[in-house]
Amino acid sequence: MTTLSTAQHRDITYQLHPYTNAVKHRQIGPRIIERGEGIYVYDDQGKQYIEAMAGLWSVAVGFNEERLVDAAHRQMQKLPFYHTFTHKTHTPSIELAERLVQATQGQMSTAFFTNSGSEANDTVIKMVWYYNNALGRHDKKKIIARNRGYHGVTVASASLTGLTPNHRGFDLPLPTMKHTLCPHYYREGLPGESEEDFATRMTNELEALILREGPDTVAAFIGEPVMGAGGVIVPPNTYWDKVQAVCRKYDILVVADEVITGFGRLGTFFGSEKYNIKADIMVLSKQITSSYLPLAAVLLNDKVNSVITRQSGELGTFGHGYTASGHPVTTAVAIENLNIIQEKGLVQNAASTGQVLQSALRELSDHPLVGEVRGTGLIAAVELVADKDSRRPFDPLGSVGAAVYERAHEHGLIVRGIQDSIAFCPPLIITEAQVRDIVERFVTTLDEVH
Ligand code: PLP
């Protein structure tokens, strides 16, 4: 039985944690993380860890960026809070909306702010419904997401999420949300099927689902350019072109959930750039403020925005918004975060250090535990298997992913175990030497677990 410190004891007594087995949490107690510096965080015993997940796929600029602290401090002194309801606004929200729209190079025309990715996707659902109601298409309301996609945890956004733990025990998903196949070639590809044929089959399945449901009832398709929380799934190169063609054929809106892929993660400013996604709606969060403060944005193209704008005039208001929509302090921090990303060339850094990460991890392909190495830019996963030839996964009850996750801490490394896939998503400020350090610590861990 572990002896818990007073702080650990207070934690297990007073706090119910997100995404945590509450029983196990009480037995083993939490790690208390006290401070951060660059790509490192330190626990209350002073132990240093490389945060190879950037927290939750989110801290682009590192864990002690004074410029963000100063931006928050300055804005706190000037105007700590004001809202953006009923014809009021403030400079930080105006400037950030403009910067985000301009970053899409003409693709999007307006921004709506929320506090989290989940709320942003909830907002997307409401906007899609509002849009179709405005067009008199009252039956066109279903939204198609993908198995293993992750879109959040509110009642509606969790229904888009395609992961069992988000539904089990919660009476979800809602019936308006449908799921299609996950474009994971290694797991879902058929024997002898090329990646190109696999992409075609995935989109044929999508089309078949649309036809089964009735195209007049399907409003939108949502997907992450590269899936994150579902296990870092990189789609075949032509997948997004084919998906978009099917959506356009049936007048279905395309929503790019860029909560993880936005702001340089894939080595391009947006993930959409990499896959030539021309979304009608784009969702941003996490790296938008490096998660120093909670913020998300929904960007709309002119097609959607013009209809919503007109409808708000007819109904008297766009009856949606949060007290903290466009909060002046969070938007001021986001602007400074964007400045840093641009000035330090972090998108380019993600592209170059990303290549080092991808090739160093691929060198592990021959390791007896490694089934697949996948990723692009500064996001990657190594899928561990019980049998390399048959690709047989480990028994879920003896998840090796969880063992690697735990053991890696001893080597000062924080990764993420997603079933038996180990995910990597370090801060964008990382250096090549630090990338190699991550891989070395991971290999040591793997050899011990093996
Ligand atoms: N969408 C994606 C792609 C995400 O990865 C996440 C969170 O990981 C969300 C939405 C939900 O964001 P939040 O946790 O801020 O609600």
> Residue ranges per domain, the chain?
31-61+345-449, 69-343
Q: How far is the CA of 57 from the centre of ligand 1 (A)?
A: 9
Same fold: 31-61+345-449 with 69-343: no
Distance CA 415, CA 426 (A): 9
Length of the chain in terms of residues written: 450
Distance CA 266, CA 58 (A): 13
Q: How far is the CA of 101 from the centre of ligand 1 (A)?
A: 20
Res 395: pLDDT: 79
Q: How far is the CA of 152 from the centre of ligand 1 (A)?
A: 5
Of ligand 1's listed atoms, the one at least distance from the Cα of 257 is: 3
Closest residue by CA, ligand 1 atom 3: 259
Is domain 31-61+345-449 annotated with CATH 3.90.1150.10?
A: yes
Q: How far is the CA of 78 from the centre of ligand 1 (A)?
A: 30
For ligand 1, mutation pick of 114, 122, 259 (most atoms within 8 Å of CB): 259
Res 246: pLDDT: 98
SS3 state of residue 352:
helix
Q: How far is the CA of 86 from the centre of ligand 1 (A)?
A: 28
Helix-strand-coil split of the chain, %, nearest 5: 45, 15, 40
Q: How far is the CA of 261 from the centre of ligand 1 (A)?
A: 11
Is domain 69-343 annotated with CATH 1.20.58.100?
A: no
Q: In angstroms, how far is the first alpha carbon of the chain from the final one?
A: 25
Query: Token pair for residue 245?
Result: 């063609």
Q: What averages of pLDDT result for each successive group of 10 residues across the chain (450 residues)? A: 89 96 94 98 98 98 98 98 98 98 97 98 98 98 98 98 96 98 98 97 98 98 98 98 98 98 98 98 98 98 98 97 98 99 98 98 96 98 95 82 93 96 98 98 93
Res 62: pLDDT: 98
Closest residue by CA, ligand 1 atom 12: 117
Res 450: pLDDT: 79
Of ligand 1's listed atoms, the one at least distance from the Cα of 294 is: 15
Distance CA 33, CA 7 (A): 11
- pTM for this one? 0.98
Alpha helices of 79-183 — where are they, by DSSP H? 91-103, 117-134, 155-160
Of ligand 1's listed atoms, the one at least distance from the Cα of 228 is: 5
Q: Which residues line ligand 1 (CB under 6 A)?
A: 116-118, 121, 150-152, 224, 228-229, 257, 259-260, 285
Q: Are 42 and 33 in contact (CB under 8 A)?
A: yes
Does this complex have an ipTM over 0.90?
Answer: yes
Closest to 255 (Cα-Cα) out of 401, 138, 145: 145
Which residue is listed with tokens 């700590």?
Answer: 80
- Sign, Cα dihedral of 41, 370, 366, 261: negative
Of ligand 1's listed atoms, the one at least distance from the Cα of 227 is: 3
